[in-house]
Amino acid sequence: MHIVRDDDLLFILKMRLFIAIQFPNRIKQTLTYIQQNMRDMGIKGNYTREENLHLTLAFIGEYKDPRYVMDVLEGLSFNSFPMELEGFGNFGDLYWVGIKDGDSLKRCAKQVRHLLADAGIPFDRKRFSPHITVLRKAYYGHEPDFGLLRIPDEGMWVKSISLMRSDRGKNGMIYTEIGDISLEDEKVGNGF
């Protein structure tokens, strides 16, 4: 929740913020295909809605000044880079699709986090572990054979990062893009 005054965008209340890579529709469709396979295997829980699928680079949490965060992110100096889906795993009852080990993604996240730290913007400092959450609070009656779950070869060029806002709605979380920062174009072609 926030109150905006037209002349200077004054935010009275804090917002829950995070910095993320958003996906094109084809990646989201691949991820929802994986989720459907999980459902077909009898796995239940809170599946991430298609419109909320993303990869978090830094979780800020409650913060009152998204404009300042966007100003800080303007200092990001990074080329676009390829990113590919790879692997599947879990942290307890949270299940995720992994990202192929890529130095560019890790360097981008590191630069984002350094910019936030240098600007005094608090963020969750857990080690960056690139993953896409597809299911929370998972449960099942019988142990599924996760070896049957295949992650399709799918990738994309990351051309921007987004500052996102998270609000609790009556049917779950609602993620809204506040703004985005375009990355410099890499001159190596599409590839995906």
In tens, the pLDDT along 148-190 reads 888 999 999 999 999 999 998 888 889 999 999 998 875 545 5
Domain definitions of the chain by residue range: 15-182
Helix, strand, coil distribution of the chain in percent, nearest 5:
25, 40, 35
Q: Which residues contact 84 (CB under 8 A, 6 or more apart)?
A: 99, 100, 102, 153, 154, 155
Taking alpha carbons only, the member of 155, 168, 175 closest to residue 54 is 175
pLDDT digits (tens, 9 = 90+) for 32-69: 999 999 999 999 999 999 999 999 999 999 999 999 99
pTM as predicted: 0.86
Q: Tell me which CATH homologous superfamily contains domain 15-182.
A: Cyclic phosphodiesterase (3.90.1140.10)
